[in-house]
Amino acid sequence: MRKIKIVPPVCPLCGATARYIDSVAVYGTSFGMMWLCPTARCDSYVGAHADGRPKGTLAGPELRKARRDAHAAFDGWWQRARISRTKAYITLSRVLGIDDAHIGSMDIPQCEFVVAIFTANPIRDRETPNQYVRRLAARNSTLSTHAVRAGTEIR
């Protein structure tokens, strides 16, 4: 097995290189490893996968709250839709018009957009993710310009 070289993330607030630590330092209980900005005033951190890769970008308090809100709206949507998390993230990517959407990599405006879209537009009974994206695009010209790529279907 090839070992993955992990590049420590850089804090977007101060430019410092993050440290790889046990989350007990932040939460008082260990939930695994995380990346933490060494500059106390930033209060920026992000969780880590088991292999050490960051689960997103370092986030300060405001961005963490925005991401929690986005996750609440998005997770509620895909769970009510009874689709897999994988299909849900493909749908999210199409709605946002980007290749690989993950809430852990979003900024505050993107998180606010996710909350607005998935709160105001619940999935309909028996509606597929493809139908959902098409319905959103038909109702919103901003979405229709980039969200629905010709020939792409969620499988």
Same domain for 88 and 128, yes or no, is yes
Asked if the model's pLDDT at residue 140 lies above 80, the reply is no
Number of domains in the chain: 2
Q: How many CB atoms lie within 10 A of CB 23?
A: 17
pLDDT confidence of residue 142: 54
| Across 23-37, 59-73, 121-135, least confident range | 121-135
Cα 17 to chain centroid, rounded: 22
Same domain for 25 and 74, yes or no, is no
Residue 54: inside a domain: yes
pLDDT band at 34 (very low <50, low <70, confident <90, very high): very high
Positive or negative CA dihedral for 2, 47, 29, 16? positive
Same domain for 54 and 74, yes or no, is no
Residue 8: inside a domain: no
pLDDT digits (tens, 9 = 90+) for 98-119: 888 999 999 999 999 899 888 8
Torsion of CA 25, 30, 36, 38, to 10 degrees: 20
Task: Give the span between the Cα atoms of 68 and 60, in whole angstroms.
Answer: 12
Task: Give the span between the Cα atoms of 78 and 96, in whole angstroms.
Answer: 15
Assign 133 to helix, strand or coil: helix
pLDDT digits (tens, 9 = 90+) for 119-136: 887 777 777 777 887 887
State what percent of residues in the chain have pLDDT above 70: 88
Where in the sequence is the domain holding 98, given as residue range(s)? Answer: 62-146
Asked if the model's pLDDT at residue 150 lies above 70, the reply is no
In sequence order, which ranges of 4-140 are alpha helices (DSSP H)? 24-27, 61-81, 85-96, 108-120, 129-139
Residue 1: inside a domain: no
Asked if the model's pLDDT at residue 147 lies above 60, the reply is no
pTM exceeds 0.75: yes
pLDDT band at 141 (very low <50, low <70, confident <90, very high): low
Cα 143 to chain centroid, rounded: 18
